[in-house]
Amino acid sequence: MHKLVFATNNQHKTDEIRLALAGQYEILNLNDIGCTEDIPETADTFEGNATLKSSYVVENFKLDCFADDSGLEIEALNNEPGIFSARYSGSRDTVENMQLVLQKLKGQTNRRAKFKTVISLMIAGQNHIFEGVIEGTIRESLSGIKGFGYDPIFQPNGYDITFAEMEMEEKNKISHRAIALKKMMEFLKG
């Protein structure tokens, strides 16, 4: 079976993809191939960072690979935190990161925001890019305890709850990541 590396250490993400592509691709993650290096993410776009990760694996392990990079873009903040989402406040503390966002948006009526995921799939020497976006608004305060990252302040359009108040199964059906992954899987199955 065709081996395909998912450039992640997240076992949960790996299992999901493995199940979805069962019988078609043998999905391996970074741990499975013995890649322990911290792959640099020094580009200034999601696409650039996803491509840095996928090409690192292709070059060093000679295997086809895909990698994702995601973040939150807030319109009134010139699309910040963007690629800096994980450490916006200078730390990885998600509450501090959300508090910084809320402070910067104080008094701001434009609360429009989107989560974005970009996947780079390097297969047979070609880079294929897939993007997933979910639009919504930033709440005035935190609400809900499920999920991770900025979920407690992000309310997707068409809902009156935040991502952090939503069941995981529901978020996983509509999220930026789900949309990008679905596009890649349709490509791989086609």
CB of 178 to ligand IMP, least distance (A): 9
CB of 115 to ligand IMP, least distance (A): 6
Please work out the total of residues on this chain that contact ligand IMP, with binding judged by CB under 6 A. Answer: 14
Secondary structure (3-state) at 135 = strand
Question: Active site residue: 15, 64, 68, 69, which one?
Answer: 69
Secondary structure (3-state) at 165 = helix
Q: Helix 176-189 vs helix 11-20: angle between axes, to the nearest 10 degrees?
A: 40
Can residue 70 be called a binding residue for ligand IMP (CB under 6 A)? yes
Closest CA to 72 of 104, 120, 42, 40: 104
Q: Which of 53, 105, 130, 149 is close enough to bind ligand IMP by CB under 6 A?
A: 149
Q: Which of 175, 179, 180, 183 is close enough to bind ligand IMP by CB under 6 A?
A: 175
Can residue 73 be called a binding residue for ligand IMP (CB under 6 A)? no
Clarify whether 69 is annotated catalytic: yes
Q: Which of 147, 156, 162, 181 is close enough to bind ligand IMP by CB under 6 A?
A: 147
Secondary structure (3-state) at 181 = helix
What's the burial of 190, exposed, middle or buried (CB within 10 Å: 0-12/13-18/19+)?
A: exposed
Phi, psi of 163 (to 5 degrees): -55, -35
Q: Which of 65, 150, 162, 179 is close enough to bind ligand IMP by CB under 6 A?
A: 150
- CA Rg value for the chain: 17
Binding to ligand IMP in span 76-115, by CB under 6 A: 85-86, 115
Which residues lie below 8 Å from residue 49, measured CB to CB, with a gap of 6+? 41, 42, 43, 69, 83
Q: Which of 12, 19, 145, 148 is close enough to bind ligand IMP by CB under 6 A?
A: 148
CB-wise, 71 or 74, nearer to ligand IMP? 71
Name the residues that contact ligand IMP, by CB under 6 A.
69-72, 85-86, 115, 147-151, 163, 175
Residues serving a catalytic function are 69
